[in-house]
């Protein structure tokens, strides 16, 4: 694994992909190759009132040795860092000081177990490179993505993940909405990801479970996994 290093990255693209969520595309400085593993993240050092303010974001693009990468950032109401980053203009190619790669939220060899990924919001970000790697390394492993959001339009990558279920038979996508459309058009699960995990996985003793999102969801689902028979050392978490 590459040790983390201070580097400067340049914003090349900034696109809204869901309400309040931006896909930011970066390139590294000329000659700087960044090697990261699926699940890792980058920390930016933003400046506020003369002080350095660190903010971390998971890589949302295929892992490896790269000179370009994407991040998925939710603009948090009144959030200093996310508002600043989401308002940057790609055309002016701003340069940002950062430290990368960071993080121990890594994909483990499944070793014959099924793999369940559970995310809410931009917690889905590290799962894109993880799923891509798992599919390449172990395509026969039964793999689930439980992805919760409030509204249908918040479900980033919904159509792409559905398409994956056709091209990757071992992959199952379980989108969950807490506020489905009133017109009855939503055919997926309703409620919170915790309820879907409880209903769909009565026995998690032979699973690896990856949880990523806001601490409340991660903590509740982690406790639930224990009740469903999943040993602690088979549950891997990243709290935003
Ligand atoms: C390892 C790691 C990886 C992360 N990866 C991502 C990522 O890929 N994408 C991403 O969008 N974020 C990610 N985060 C969260 C990110 O680092 C910031 O915490 C987030 O952008 C908020 O920072 P801010 O400066 O905008 O808000 P702040 O100014 O720090 O907070 C403002 C207020 O908003 C609240 N708040 C903070 N976050 C949220 C939230 N998510 N929802 C609702 N209220 C919130 C705070 O409690 C506070 O009251 C990650 C965090 C960690 C630790």
- CATH 3.50.40.10 assigned to 5-102: no
Does residue 107 contact residue 130 with C-beta atoms inside 8 Å? yes
Does residue 222 contact residue 196 with C-beta atoms inside 8 Å? no
Q: What is the pLDDT of residues 30-50, one digit of tens each?
A: 999 999 999 999 999 999 999
Listed in order, the ranges of the chain carrying CATH 3.40.50.80 are 114-239
Listed in order, the ranges of the chain carrying CATH 2.40.30.10 are 5-102
CATH for 114-239? 3.40.50.80
Distant-in-sequence, close-in-space partners of 146: CB < 8 Å, separation ≥ 6: 116, 117, 118, 119, 174, 176, 193, 196, 197, 200
Rounded distance, CA 203 to CA 56, Å? 34
Q: Report whether residue 75 contacts ligand 1, using a CB cutoff of 6 Å.
A: no
**pLDDT level of residue 29 (50, 70, 90 thresholds):** very high
Q: Report whether residue 125 contacts ligand 1, using a CB cutoff of 6 Å.
A: yes
Q: Could you identify the atom of ligand 1 that is nearest to the CA of residue 84? A: 26
Is the pLDDT at 94 greater than 90? The verdict is: no
To 10 degrees, the CA torsion angle through 79, 83, 85, 89? -170
Nearest CA residue ID for atom 5, ligand 1: 57
Q: Report whether residue 122 contacts ligand 1, using a CB cutoff of 6 Å.
A: yes
């Amino acid at each position: 694994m590459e040790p983390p290093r201070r580097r400067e990255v340049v914003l090349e693209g900034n696109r809204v992909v869901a309400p309040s969520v931006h896909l930011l595309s970066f390139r590294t400085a000329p000659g700087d190759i960044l090697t990261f593993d699926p699940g890792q993240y980058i920390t930016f050092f933003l400046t506020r009132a003369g002080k350095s303010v660190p903010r971390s974001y998971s890589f949302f693009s295929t892992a490896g040795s790269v000179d370009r990468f994407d991040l998925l950032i939710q603009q948090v109401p009144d959030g200093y860092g996310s508002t600043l980053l989401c308002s940057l203009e790609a055309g002016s190619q701003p340069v940002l000081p950062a430290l990368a790669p960071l993080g121990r939220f890594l994909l483990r060899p499944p070793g014959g177990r099924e793999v369940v990924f559970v995310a809410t919001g931009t917690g889905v970000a590290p799962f894109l490179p993880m799923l891509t790697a798992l599919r390449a390394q172990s395509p026969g492993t039964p793999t689930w993505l439980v992805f919760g959001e409030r509204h249908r339009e918040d479900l980033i990558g919904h159509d792409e993940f559905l398409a994956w279920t056709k091209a990757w038979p071992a992959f199952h996508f379980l989108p969950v909405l807490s506020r489905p459309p009133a017109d009855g058009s939503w055919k997926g699960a309703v409620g919170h990801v915790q309820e879907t995990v409880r209903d769909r996985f009565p026995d998690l003793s032979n699973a690896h479970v990856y949880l990523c999102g806001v601490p409340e969801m991660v903590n509740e689902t982690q406790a639930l996994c224990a009740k469903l028979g999943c040993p602690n050392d088979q549950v891997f978490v990243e709290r935003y």
